[in-house]
Structure 1
């Protein structure tokens, strides 16, 4: 079994790291939140005083941080990359712009370590169950070396390309679809409310018809709650759809629906809902056209 440094013990990172511990790996966690470190220690993981200490001599480093900036801080500023064992694996699971993932990969490979661009999808529920979808971009041999670690964290593992940035692009397109689907669900339910219809009945009708989508079934009920639990925040889609639009700009691909959805999430964030569950994006519609 491998010695794995794990940076980023947030809502998804904690269960991902815990699953690696359960699988028999020696996991050293690092996070700025002391409570997260205590959580991992209680589940059999080791805790480190710094990212460099976590990575010292490790066979692999999993980065489940918020964005590319944090990944670069852990790797290059905090010294985790230099502390890893020679030929170690660096597995980047954060949602990053494809160009940023490719740039990070180039630096990692220049240090004689191996890099896997492996963003994930599936939320906290998927992280806890070890059923995440993982979209990995890496050379074939590197992917094969990382596969035993990746399969502990995700049951739907895809090798989507041979270079850094390929995984990030697949995740970017995934977020385009997710963001647009949530926005469409919000628009539809807001129209139903405005028309004075029973929105719970609408969810039942549309959820079992061709109009249904996974996001409608998952986010729709929470759109009708006053204070839904936060599983993914509005500001995450402000960030992710921004990455989508940058990817469109870089490839000269028009992204009309993604741009509209981004504006909707931005409006909800501007209303003070940035930390609220992303289902609260419906509040932007409610503000524009309150019920009579």
Structure 2
């Protein structure tokens, strides 16, 4: 993302192209200097909210003894392009929870200064801080899943591992065959 006046953006076009490799990978945010940072902050908060919601939903699926991979695939399929943002729900710790926590905290502070309510972001902040308090600050998205496992005493990870054993034995025909679940099975192993 980039923001700023046209003349400045033209001056830095070459370095931008070197970083993005294709100008179509660069999103221009109108609004002057700092607008792209604000848009990025909003994106980070939406990702955090979606991750928190996904962790809660997968804990619910595990409690119902549903295969979290199948539930995830079904939700992902039916949500499709209707989502406001695409959550990073593969549970691979790409970004430490601490980074997401900072973005959510910054968003809440900005909302407070603008006198805007932010109850969903505040709930996400509470979940992230609880996960961090339990030592999962470097886990990324999986730290939020671990927190829900702690709250519900249901292991999402074990549910996935049990489903994997069934798949390995060839007994579960409900899982997709495109390999998407297998990737998540490997990355979901949070012990």
1:151 aligns with 2:17: yes
Q: 1:256 aligns with which of 116, 119, 126?
A: 119
Q: Distance in 2 between matches of 1:151 and 1:249?
A: 37
Root-mean-square deviation over aligned CA pairs: 2.0
Superposed CA offset, 1:27-86 (max 9, x none): xxxxxxxxxxxxxxxxxxxxxxxxxxxxxxxxxxxxxxxxxxxxxxxxxxxxxxxxxxxx
Matches within 5 A, 1:231-242: 231-242=94-105
1:276 aligns with 2:116: no
Q: 1:188 aligns with which of 41, 44, 57?
A: 57
SS in 1 for 2:26: strand
Report deviation, 1:207.
Answer: 1.8
Superposed CA offset, 1:230-289 (max 9, x none): 311111111110111112112222212111111111111111011112232111111111
Q: Where is the helix percentage greater, Structure 1 or Structure 2?
A: 2
2:105 and 2:125 in contact (8 A); partners too:
yes
Q: Return the structure number with greater relative CO, CA threshold 8 A, min gap 6.
A: 2
Report deviation, 1:162.
Answer: 4.9
2:108 and 2:118 in contact (8 A); partners too:
yes
Q: Where is the strand percentage greater, Structure 1 or Structure 2?
A: 1
Report deviation, 1:136.
Answer: 1.5
Which blocks of at least 5 consecutive residues in structure 1 are unaligned? 1-134, 223-228
Report how many residues are paired: 149
Which blocks of at least 5 consecutive residues in structure 2 are unaligned? 156-191
